[in-house]
Amino acid sequence: MTQIDHQVHSLHPDVSGSRVFKFIAFLYGIAAYLVFFVTIVYAIGFVMGLVVPKTIDTGTDTPTAEAVIINLLLMTLFAVQHSVMARQRFKAWWTRFVPKPVERSTYVLFASLSLLLLFWQWRPLPSVIWDVADPDLAVTLVTLSFAGWVLVFISTFIINHFELFGLHQVTNHLVGKEAAPPRFKTPLLYKFVRHPIYLGFIIAFWAAPTMTAGHLLFAAVTTAYIFVGIALEEHDLVDLFGDEYRQYKQRVSMLIPWRRSV
């Protein structure tokens, strides 16, 4: 999920299509959103080891080197898809083939499918790095991890959850409504950190009472990818908003609330 798409109304629905196409595009957007919703709910269970049939610490027993390679390839596939399809240059090319109203929904669908593939093919690395014996501290870490997921969801709704995941675009297209022009804004949590969604993911991934080698690999690689993603997104935001975003970077910390930006 990218910051530039969180804060920028960049897609303008094409109102020249037929009514049938608009309705099909609307249904497609709903379907893509439902796939995303199932994926993100499964992701919570996958990372926290709750309810779902296959978690980050369960699955096919595989030799360590093979498991690491497979897991790295799965995470790389997601990272490449997620970053490349979010870039404005790719969008300009991609929307020559995919109608603009469903471009965001298609992006969300592809990202969800790549995550589902990761969950399906992930190989556990069960060696324990740390295991918190104190039950109170263990509950605190689980609660903190859950709070990270809550932060992710709250942050998306603050900036327009349904636009972020494509429903806003296909709904506008259905009713023939033009999207608002790009406008830089920093509501609520965005006044304290520039990337509260990414902060939520980092908390959710690292706050684990039992940290296995597989979980550590997942947390470390995804955290590294978050910093790469931030660099790419902020480059795009500076190109779009210029000094307005540069001043925001100087004023507000990247991830740690109330820490001076550098």
Report the pLDDT value the prediction gives residue 262, as an integer from 0 to 100: 54
* pLDDT tens string 28-42: 999 999 999 999 999
* pLDDT tens string 141-151: 999 999 999 99
- For the chain, the structural domain boundaries read 3-251
Report the pLDDT value the prediction gives residue 1, as an integer from 0 to 100: 47
Asked if residue 57 lies in contact with residue 212, where contact means CB atoms within 8 angstroms, the answer is: yes
42 backbone dihedrals φ, ψ, rounded to 5°: -65, -35
Report the pLDDT value the prediction gives residue 260, as an integer from 0 to 100: 63
User: Running DSSP on this structure, what letter comes out for residue 36?
Assistant: H
Cβ-Cβ contacts under 8 Å for 247 (sequence gap 6 or more): none
Confidence of residue 160 (pLDDT cuts 50, 70, 90): confident
What does the alpha-carbon distance between residue 249 and residue 262 come to, in Å, rounded to a whole number?
8
Report the pLDDT value the prediction gives residue 17, as an integer from 0 to 100: 64
Q: From its phi and psi, is residue 54 left (phi > 0), alpha (psi between -120 and 50) or beta?
A: beta
Query: What is the amino acid identity at position 43?
Result: A
The reported pTM is 0.88
Q: Which of 187, 230, 222 is nearest to 203 (CA)?
A: 222
User: Running DSSP on this structure, what letter comes out for residue 242?
Assistant: T
Cβ-Cβ contacts under 8 Å for 262 (sequence gap 6 or more): none
Residue 7 confidence (pLDDT) above 50: no
Range from 7-21, 156-170, 193-207, 228-242 carrying the lowest mean pLDDT: 7-21
Region 183-199 average pLDDT: 92
What average pLDDT is seen over the chain?
Answer: 90
Q: Which of 202, 57, 208, 48 is nearest to 137 (CA)?
A: 208
The token pair that represents 155 in the structure block: 């942050």
Report the pLDDT value the prediction gives residue 55, as an integer from 0 to 100: 97
* pLDDT tens string 72-131: 999 999 999 988 988 888 888 988 899 999 999 999 999 999 999 999 999 999 999 999
Q: Which of 217, 210, 51, 204 is nearest to 122 (CA)?
A: 217
CB atoms within 10 A of CB 55: 20
131 backbone dihedrals φ, ψ, rounded to 5°: -145, 110
Residue 139 confidence (pLDDT) above 70: yes
Report the pLDDT value the prediction gives residue 15, as an integer from 0 to 100: 42
* pLDDT tens string 174-183: 988 887 777 8
Asked if residue 31 lies in contact with residue 21, where contact means CB atoms within 8 angstroms, the answer is: no
* pLDDT tens string 121-137: 999 999 999 999 999 99
